[in-house]
Amino acid sequence: MPKMREIQLGKNGITDNFVGSLKTQFIDCSNVKVAVLPSLCRDKKELKKIEQEILDKLGKNFTSSTIGYKINIKKWRRNKRE
């Protein structure tokens, strides 16, 4: 069972297909890295908005951190954010 997977977020942005494939990644593992391509955002403020939008669509059992242009998302068993 892999501990971490990686998925890319391209210029189409956060679509329903992207969120669906992201949720299926969490079936087998608890950590997923989302690599945000430079064609989607060029500044860290936009990246924070994208990170928050992903977390809003996933639910309350997820937290994230950003390193460079990669968003690390972790799934918890219980709600971690309010």
Total number of domains in the chain: 1
Residue 80, in any domain of the structure: no
- Dig out the tokens for 42 from the structure: 């060029």
Task: Please report the pLDDT score of residue 39 as a whole number.
Answer: 87
49: tokens are: 């908005």
Q: Is 40 contained in some domain?
A: yes
Structure confidence at residue 79 (pLDDT): 60
CB 36 within 8 A of CB 9: yes
CATH of the domain at 37: 3.30.110.60
- 1-37 pLDDT per residue, tens: 567 899 999 989 999 999 999 999 998 888 999 999 9
pLDDT at residue 52 above 80?
Answer: yes
In a domain, 81, yes or no: no
Domain that holds residue 39: 4-75
Q: Which residue has the tokens 């939008």?
A: 53
Within-domain flag for 82: no
